[in-house]
Chains A and B, each alone.
Chain A
Amino acid sequence: MDAIFLQILNGLDKGGAYALIALGLTLAFGTLGIVNFAHGALFMLGAFCAVSIQALLTHSKKVKDESITFFDAYKEQPYLEIWWGDLGTTIIDYAVPISILAAIPIMLLIGLSMERGLIRFFYKRTHAEQILVTFGLAIVIQELIKANFGSNPIPTPAPDVVSGSANIGSALGLSDSIVYPWWRLIYLAFSVIILAAVFAFLQFTTFGMVVRAGMHDRDMVNLLGIDVEKKFTIVFGLAAVVAGLAGVMYAPILPPDYHIGMDFLVLSFVVVVVGGMGSLGGAVAAGFLLGILQSFASMNEVKSLFPGIDQIIIYLVAVVILLVRPRGLMGRKGVMEE
């Protein structure tokens, strides 16, 4: 029972990341009709916002390391610590939360630039061409990050206060062995809040109403005198912000490297396909569903029955869904069914 509870938490945690990326992909597809293979790069750029802010806050002076006597060794002492002592240390410790604030305008700017600078020229092109150009863009972004930050993952820890684990079992009156890292719980809560905020934005604001109407019938909204293209551009920026924030928050869980976006992109596309192309609810539901399935497939009891199932479960589900219900779990009839 404890194992099942923990795997559900694991699945929700992973599913949160999948859902956030898949939501952005679906927004871009549902509004602009773009199959954006550069979306994973936006997740990666978000993670590197955290890396950059951490590097900025830990900008250091080189001080001779007296403990090394064999040769002249130097250690780095951050200027913030030199200037402000413990306050400087605390600010450095909170690099990731600070990065969240910084990432919002940065990712919005990147998203808008990407859409205006490249993506908009491919609205009327085939999906194959869109995939090629956005995949190419993703590779360019990856290589730029690699050139600047190197190819190795960069540790980006969460604040000390949430670096341990929470004893959920005790709190819920269950077994003591149910513990879960604080930051992963925060990530899960963060995912839910962001997803709820995006849905609320689309559901309860006039802007959101226009966007939803545009997704349903773009021509009609245009005929009503609303510049729906401009709204969709902002939606693309919003999708970039969501992917970027997902990346920032994931940095303490998995030290970011230039390839982290691509690793998530493939899975997130499967999530979108399973959920239904263009269906926001489907993307979120499929994200969590596949996250949980992946976790359960990793249980030893399951793997002993089906060796290697943990590696293929997501793709297996995708194959079954595509065979049985090509539009996906919650996809609209006719979308990507031709």
Chain B
Amino acid sequence: MKETNISRRSVLKGTAALGLAGTAPMFFVRNASAAGYLNDPGSASSVTLGFNVPQTGAYADEGADELRAYELAVSHLNGEGDGGMMNTMKPLSLKGNGILGKKVEYVTGDTQTKSDAARASAKRMIEKDGAVMITGGSSSGVAIAVQGLCQEAGVIFMAGLTHSNDTTGKDKRRNGFRHFFNGYMSGAALGPVLEKAYGTERNAYHLTADYTWGWTQEASIKASTENIGWNTSNTVKTPVGAGDFSQYITPVLNSGADTLILNHYGKDMINSLTQAVQFGLRDKNVNGKDFVIIVPLYSRLMAQGAGEAVKGIFGSTNWHWSLADEGSKAFVKSFGEAYGFPPSQAAHTCYVQALLYADACERAGTFMPCEVVNALEGHKFDGMGNGPTEYRAEDHQCFKDVLVVKGKDNPSSQFDVLEVVEVTPRAQVEYAPDNEFFAGGDLGPCNNGAA
């Protein structure tokens, strides 16, 4: 028998190495070692961004508007159209010639408002389409799932509409950034307005979407309303996409509560609010007080869907198309001319995120994720519709003013359904990075996707 020099130890080492290589996802190795970071466009004339939005499911309306905004952002980045917010953004490094001279192209995915589907479509865009950045989402569950994937893969994730405290709290990641506000900020902005409108003696009943966003919003609003003296009579979780909420609304009728807080969004919000009104809640008088409904997170799309039901109902929003600052006006004009109607807050935050990412790449002089992270952390900017804004380095959360809105009693047009009742200043909604609602997370190290 021929002798070989293969030892048992080297066989074990080889097996271990093969096992590691075999189990490592492709995105950890493809392009990585040669170029230094994943999906480096190198000398190509274009760069690909991945827009991962819900095109079906409970948040499909927001998703459609997000996609419109991304397409508009791409055209502005490539020097087409009127430039939108690139005319008002300060500071601005973008030149209207794509990003770092490369034409911006994009691929899209349907998150279906499901975490697994969202991760699958993001993975496809990273591995097959070579997307250097993923952005989008209209659900915090999805945003957190995709943020985690992007961290593992080594690409930047610019979150779309995600309002859960957890996105930049316990589930924050170094490669992920959120421009949108969060549940805590909604509570901090709404509390004083609700106290002024409805006093300090209220008995509130919460119906809450049963996932991360609903839980954190409920906790934030509960803390905020209890802080102004309100009692919380009950908190009930409802399945996402329940459709018919009658079985959850009827117990409210004789619960003794005089206030219903709907921690729902999208189609769920439209259905639960419409059905609450159909069940006569707004006509009720409990304990000598008129029954009121509150929608802590509002959107104009949602308000339009709910129609008459939203009149007089308070809520908060990240942005509204009626704002009169130069950035908002420029964006509304561009979007309106392109699509014939004003943008939603989902469209706004996605458009801003696309521009902020592109600007960060220009400032960093590279698409390398860790350099882009450095460019975004602590970045201060203005002219994007929310006043002076900062991407806080400690948690990658944008801090800016928050809007408290109310369903308009006499709308002048089909889009004029919400009125801004207060622009809550940044200082009132700001919190320490170690705030209890955001505790438990760690940004961790940045990941370039290099081997």
Q: What is A's interface to B at a CB cutoff of 8 Å?
A: 2-3, 6-7, 9-10, 13-14, 65, 67-68, 70-75, 151-153, 155, 157, 163-165, 167, 175, 177-181, 183-184, 253-255, 260, 263, 294-295, 298-300, 303, 310-311
A332 → chain B, closest Cβ, in Å?
A: 33
Interfacial chain A residues near B236, Cβ < 8 Å: 300, 303
Q: In the complex, are the beta carbons of A155 and B305 less than 8 A apart?
A: yes
- For B253, what are the chain A residues with a Cβ–Cβ distance below 8 Å? 2-3, 6, 177-179
Whether A67 contacts B280 in the complex (CB less than 8 A), given A73-B341, A152-B61, A253-B244, comes out as no
**Which residues on A sit within 8 Å (CB–CB) of B55?**
151
Scan residues 231-275 of chain B and give those whose CB is less than 8 A from a CB of chain A.
234, 236, 239, 243-244, 246-248, 250-251, 253-254, 267, 270-271, 275
**Complex Cα spacing A255 to B267, Å:** 9
Given contacts A2-B254, A75-B414, A177-B253, contact A294 B336 (CB under 8 A): no
Tell yes or no: B340 within 8 A of A by CB. Answer: yes
B418 proximal to A (CB < 8 A):
no
Q: Which of A2, A9, A67 contacts B413 (CB 8 A)?
A: A67
Given known A2-B253, A6-B253, A155-B305, contact A73–B415 (CB-CB < 8 A): yes
**B293 touches A (CB below 8 Å):** no
Name the B residues within 8 Å of A72 (CB-CB).
Answer: 336-337, 340
Say yes or no: is B329 at the interface (Cβ < 8 Å to chain A). Answer: yes
Known: A10-B250, A71-B333. A65 touches B243 (CB 8 A): no
Apart from A153-B270, A181-B278, A298-B251, 20 more pairs, CB < 8 Å: A2-B253, A3-B251, A3-B253, A6-B251, A7-B247, A67-B416, A68-B336, A70-B332, A71-B340, A151-B60, A152-B267, A165-B280, A167-B280, A177-B254, A177-B284, A178-B253, A181-B280, A255-B267, A263-B243, A300-B234
Query: B267 contacts which chain A residues (CB < 8 A)?
Result: 152-153, 255
Which of A70, A74, A155, A260 is B329 in contact with, Cβ under 8 Å? Answer: A70
Q: Are B305 and A65 in contact (CB under 8 A)?
A: no
User: Please, which residue of chain A has its CB at the minimum distance from the CB of B247?
Assistant: A298
Q: Which residue in chain B gives the minimum CB-CB distance to A253? A: B244
A151 in contact with B248 (CB, 8 Å)? no
For residues 275 through 305 of chain B, which have their beta carbon under 8 Å from a beta carbon of chain A? 275, 278-280, 283-284, 305
Closest 10 CB pairs of A and B: A71-B336, A298-B247, A165-B280, A181-B278, A67-B413, A6-B250, A179-B280, A151-B56, A67-B412, A177-B254
Q: How far is the CB of A151 from chain B (nearest CB, A)?
A: 4
Residues from chain A with a CB closer than 8 A to the CB of B305 are 155
With A177-B253, A177-B254, A298-B248 given, is the CB distance from A75 to B342 under 8 Å? no
Contact of B60 with A3 in the complex, beta carbons under 8 Å: no
With CB as the reference atom, state the residue of chain A lying closest to B110: A151
Would you call B25 an interface residue if the criterion is a C-beta within 8 Å of the partner chain's C-beta atoms? Answer: no
Q: Does B81 sit within 8 A of A, measured CB to CB?
A: no
Are A295 and B60 within 8 A (Cβ)? no
CA distance A300 to B284 in the complex (A): 21
Are the C-beta atoms of B247 and A294 separated by less than 8 Å?
yes
Bound CA–CA A177/B281 (angstroms): 10
- Closest B residue to A2 using CB positions: B254
Judged by a CB distance under 8 angstroms, whether B388 is at the interface is no
Do A65 and B244 have beta carbons less than 8 Å apart? Answer: no
C-alpha spacing A152/B332, complex, angstroms: 24
Alpha-carbon distance A14/B414, docked complex (angstroms)? 33
Which residues of the partner chain A approach B246 to less than 8 Å between Cβ atoms?
Answer: 10, 13-14, 184
Number of B residues with CB within 8 Å of any CB on chain A: 41
Which of chain A's residues have a CB closer than 8 A to the CB of B234? 300
Bound: A179/B277 CA distance, A: 11
Question: Complex Cα distance A71/B284, Å?
Answer: 41
A153 to chain B, nearest CB (A): 6
CB-defined contacts of B247 to chain A, threshold 8 Å? 7, 10, 14, 294-295, 298, 310
B91 contacts the other chain (CB 8 A): no
Q: A179-B279, A298-B248 are in contact. Are A70 and B342 (CB under 8 A)?
A: yes
How long is the Cα–Cα vector from A175 to B91 in the complex, in angstroms?
A: 63
The answer to whether A73 touches B336 (Cβ under 8 A) is yes
CB distance from A268 to the nearest CB of B (A): 15
In the assembled complex, which residues on chain A have CB atoms less than 8 Å from the CB atom of B413? 65, 67-68, 73, 75
Which A residues lie within 8 Å of B199 (CB)? Answer: none
Residues of chain B within 8 A of A3, CB atoms compared: 250-251, 253-254
The answer to whether A155 touches B307 (Cβ under 8 A) is yes
* B412 (CB) vs chain A CBs: closest residue: A67
Most chain A CB within 10 A, of B243, B248, B250, is at: B250
**A72–B413 CA distance with the chains assembled, in angstroms:** 13
**CB closest chain-A residue, reference B56:** A151
In the bound complex, CA of A311 to CA of B210 (Å): 12
How far apart are A324's CB and chain B's nearest CB, in angstroms? 26
Contact of A152 among B60, B271, B416 (CB under 8 A): B60
A-B contact pairs, 10 of them (CB 8 A): A3-B251, A10-B247, A67-B412, A68-B415, A72-B340, A157-B307, A178-B253, A179-B253, A179-B280, A260-B243
Tell me the smallest distance from the CB of B289 to a CB of chain A, in Å.
15
A179: chain B residues at CB < 8 Å are: 253, 279-280
CB atoms of A71 and B332 under 8 A apart: yes
| Residues of chain B within 8 A of A70, CB atoms compared | 329, 332-333, 336, 342
Q: Which residues of B contact A13 (CB under 8 A)?
A: 246
Q: In the complex, what residues of A have CB within 8 A of residue B280's CB?
A: 164-165, 167, 179, 181
**Which B residues are in CB contact (< 8 Å) with A73?**
336, 340-342, 413, 415
Instruction: For B307, list chain A residues within 8 Å (CB).
Output: 155, 157
Are B342 and A181 in contact, CB atoms less than 8 angstroms apart?
Answer: no
Q: Which residue of B lies closest to A296 (CB)?
A: B247
Is B244 a contact of A7 with CB atoms below 8 Å?
no
Instruction: Provide the bound-state CA to CA distance between A181 and B340, in Å.
Output: 36
Provided the pairs A10-B247, A70-B329, A294-B247 are in contact, do residues A164 and B278 lie with their beta carbons within 8 angstroms? Answer: yes
**Bound CA–CA A167/B243 (angstroms):** 24
Interface residues as binary, B324-335 with A (CB distance below 8 Å gives 1, 0 otherwise): 000001001100
Q: Considering only CB atoms, which chain A residue lies closest to B112 in the complex?
A: A151
Bitwise, B3-44 to A at CB < 8 A (1) or not (0) is 000000000000000000000000000000000000000000
Most B Cβ at <10 Å: residue of A6, A9, A184, A260 = A6
Complexed CA–CA distance, A10 and B60 (Å) = 29
* Residues on the A chain within 8 Å of B57, using CB: 151
B416 contacts across to A, CB distance below 8 A:
67
CA distance in complex: A179, B413 (Å): 33
